[in-house]
């Protein structure tokens, strides 16, 4: 089950600033969500079982070709080789050994920045399907603690797009039961 919640800045309490701790938000904030959808996905068959709007209390259909996350979850992943990993700072001058540290996305657990980020980086290639993502390389940063990628990066000739996890943890409120 995957829940997608889009909150407007104006619906958040004035003192709610990054880093964010979603456990501290009241149910009323989620009731004001711009988008609040729940997807049930069969990971073995890579099929969307159902999609519903928890905001509007109604089911809706999603064409397989339109569901980015379902398609992303079905793509084969392979570890990104160390020589392809992003590093911090400018590259060394010719002939010098590259001693730069690997770049890692920030990791927040229950509103607190974690110094213990141990990411495994994978890559995949979006299929040639005529879409804007067609044949694009995608990098995904996973932590052993959390099943969803903390960071997803898609490179195109025009720009780099990324999706990031802004908080993770245990025992978050089950938002669908707040209705």
- Of 4, 69, 73, the closest CA to residue 43 belongs to 73
CB atoms within 10 A of CB 45: 9
Q: Which residues in the chain show pLDDT less than 50?
A: 176-179
Distance CA 110, CA 169 (A): 5
Contact 174, 159 (CB under 8 A): no
pLDDT at 128: 92
User: Which residue bears the tokens 């540290």?
Assistant: 101
Distance CA 138, CA 121 (A): 10
pLDDT at 27: 67
How far separated are the first and last CA of the chain, in Å rounded? 17
pLDDT at 113: 84
pLDDT at 84: 92
Contact 75, 64 (CB under 8 A): no
Distance CA 98, CA 84 (A): 13
pLDDT at 121: 95
pLDDT at 179: 46
Q: What is the helix (H) or strand (E) element at residue 161, kind and residue range?
A: strand 160-164
């Amino acid at each position: 089950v995957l829940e997608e919640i889009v909150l407007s800045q104006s619906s958040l309490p004035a003192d709610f600033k990054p880093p964010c701790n979603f456990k501290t938000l009241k149910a009323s904030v989620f009731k004001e969500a711009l988008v609040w959808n729940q997807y049930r996905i069969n990971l073995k068959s890579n099929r969307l079982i159902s999609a519903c709007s928890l905001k509007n209390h109604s089911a809706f259909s999603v064409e397989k070709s339109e569901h980015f996350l379902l398609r992303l979850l079905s793509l084969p992943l392979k570890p990104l080789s160390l020589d392809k990993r992003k590093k911090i700072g400018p590259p060394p001058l010719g002939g010098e050994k590259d001693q730069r540290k690997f770049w890692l996305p920030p990791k927040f657990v229950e509103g607190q920045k974690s110094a213990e980020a141990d990411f495994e980086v994978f890559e995949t290639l979006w299929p040639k399907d005529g879409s804007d993502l067609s044949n694009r390389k995608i990098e995904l940063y996973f932590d052993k603690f959390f099943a969803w990628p903390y960071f997803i990066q898609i490179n195109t000739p025009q720009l780099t797009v990324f999706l990031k996890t802004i908080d993770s943890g245990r025992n978050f409120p089950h938002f669908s039961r707040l209705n």
